[in-house]
Amino acid sequence: MLIFVTGTARFEMAVANKTMNLLESLVKEGSFKWLLSKRSTFAEEFEELERSPSAGRNWIPELSPVANIVVRRCSKILETSSSELQESFNTEASDSIKHKSRYARNFLEYCCFRALALSTRVMGHLADKKFRRLTFDMMVAWEAPATSSQSPVNLDDDLSVGVEAFSRIAPAVPIIANVIICENLFEVLTISTGGRLRFPVYDKYLNALE
């Protein structure tokens, strides 16, 4: 039994080291320059993840950096690891849902909807700014879920999301929107921002719902 535990520990350490080396090389190559260009919450969390000894269990290679960070937040809410969420998804989802062309977005949605279902049971969740930011960042990740996704230039408060991302994530929190009014609501919220929703406007709308 001791041999098995030791072997497992060595394997996890090897995976973690491999992931850490990958993250470090990406940073050196400038692949995450857009992520670290400003002190956004994404940048801070990425640096925290890079330093974490559990990085190997919290980095999904199929996902973009933004999606990885959002999934990591979801895993904390669900009190599990990103890799365990992936194992559950792979077990529960059909082959068509897990198709390579749709895998990243479907897995991201799986994590988001599970986390939101749990979070919305908490009284006063809409008053929690971290919760409000999470729902918006889920939309950001939804637009660029895969490793191959084109990443936004700067991850800061000037980020914006489109109607598809809003219509997919927002109805998961019934007080925010529902599928019937989503597009009309989005049009009203983005009337002065060229059809893209920015966090300050979104946050102001959520504050008004409290």
Residue range 96-126, pLDDT digits in tens:
999 999 999 999 999 999 999 999 999 999 9
Averaged over 56-75, what is the pLDDT?
A: 89
Mean pLDDT of the chain: 82
Q: What is the pTM of this model?
A: 0.78
**pLDDT higher for 165 or 210?**
165
Question: For residues 84 and 75, what is the distance between their CA atoms, to the nearest angstrom?
Answer: 9
From 25-34, 48-57, 90-99, the region with the lowest mean pLDDT: 25-34
pLDDT for res 15: 43
**Percent of the chain predicted with pLDDT > 70:** 74
Residue range 147-206, pLDDT digits in tens:
887 655 455 557 899 999 999 999 999 999 999 999 999 999 999 999 999 999 999 999
Residue spans per domain, the chain: 2-56+63-209
pLDDT for res 59: 86
The pLDDT-based confidence of 29 (bands split at 50, 70, 90) is: very low
pLDDT for res 10: 54
Q: What's the CA angle centered on 204, arms 201 and 208, to 5 degrees?
A: 140
pLDDT for res 22: 47
Averaged over 60-89, what is the pLDDT?
A: 94
Averaged over 12-23, what is the pLDDT?
A: 47
Residue 142 in this model has a pLDDT that exceeds 80: yes
pLDDT for res 174: 93
pLDDT for res 20: 47
Averaged over 1-30, what is the pLDDT?
A: 47
